[in-house]
Amino acid sequence: MFEFITDFLKEHGYLGLFALMVLENVFPPIPSEVIVPFAGFVAAHGELHLAGVLLAGTLGSVVGALPWYYAARAYGAKRLKRAAARHGRWLALTCGDVDKALHAFDRHGGKAVLFGRLVPALRTLVSLPAGIAAMKLPTFLLLSALGSLAWTALLAATGFVLKDQYEHVAEFVDPVSKAVLGLLLSWYLYRVATWKPGAGT
């Protein structure tokens, strides 16, 4: 995993990082917790610039949040729940997930978007209530960008600071990252197999 991602980032640079972060937010193929520290490591060796990593990672994260925001804004709560009831199996999204996201937004408003971008399990879901509540796009973009920048900076700094030691750390990180991906895949397959529309349809 270490060599695959670092080689990919070395070959495709900022555009590759941007694309991975977009995908990570729309439908996580590889979590940002794995992608961005490796980008920081590549930057520490001079093949990318740290500022470019922060910019590409943040932009990718924000752009990846927009499809869910626009879908929620266009559909509204009731139609989104109906869509979840019909197609949610493959998105691992239930009506209950929509309700939870709405409840968090009702309680915390814009803070839910800002701080939700720092929480792996909520990074995608926070776009839903923001869209349903028709949060102004500039406000959504600003809060998403600030939260995403903080998250990207934290992860990139980990790989950047470790620098030469990162290859040694990778001996431990590599099997852990594979285990994380395996768990995510298992979780997704479990959600698909046991998915139910839930209440509120």
Q: What digits encode the pLDDT tens for the residues 75-100?
A: 887 777 777 677 656 665 667 777 77
Residue of 3 and 37 predicted with greater confidence: 37
Q: pLDDT, tens digit, for every residue of 9-18?
A: 889 999 999 9
Mean pLDDT of 47-72: 93
Mean pLDDT of 159-172: 67
Mean pLDDT of 155-180: 68
Which tokens sit at 195?
């998915």
Q: Which residues of 62-98 are buried (b: 16+ CB within 10 A; e: fewer)?
A: bbbbbbbbebbbebebeebbbbbbeebbebebbbbbb
Mean pLDDT of 172-192: 63
Give the model's pLDDT for residue 61.
93
Give the residue carrying structure tokens 């009831």: 85
Would the pLDDT of 201 be above 60?
Answer: no
Q: How far apart are CA 41 and CA 50, in angstroms?
A: 9
Q: Which residues of 176-196 are buried (b: 16+ CB within 10 A; e: fewer)?
A: ebeebbeeeeeeeeebeeebe
Q: How far apart are CA 35 and CA 103, in angstroms?
A: 30
Residue of 134 and 171 predicted with greater confidence: 134
Q: How far apart are CA 146 and CA 114, in angstroms?
A: 7
Angle at 146 between CA 140 and CA 148, to 5 degrees: 95
Give the model's pLDDT for residue 108.
75
Residue of 75 and 137 predicted with greater confidence: 137
Q: How far apart are CA 40 and CA 125, in angstroms?
A: 26
Q: How far apart are CA 126 and CA 68, in angstroms?
A: 9
Q: pLDDT, tens digit, for every residue of 19-55?
A: 999 988 887 666 777 788 888 888 988 889 999 999 9
Give the residue carrying structure tokens 């670092």: 6
Phi, psi of 150 (to 5 degrees): -65, -45
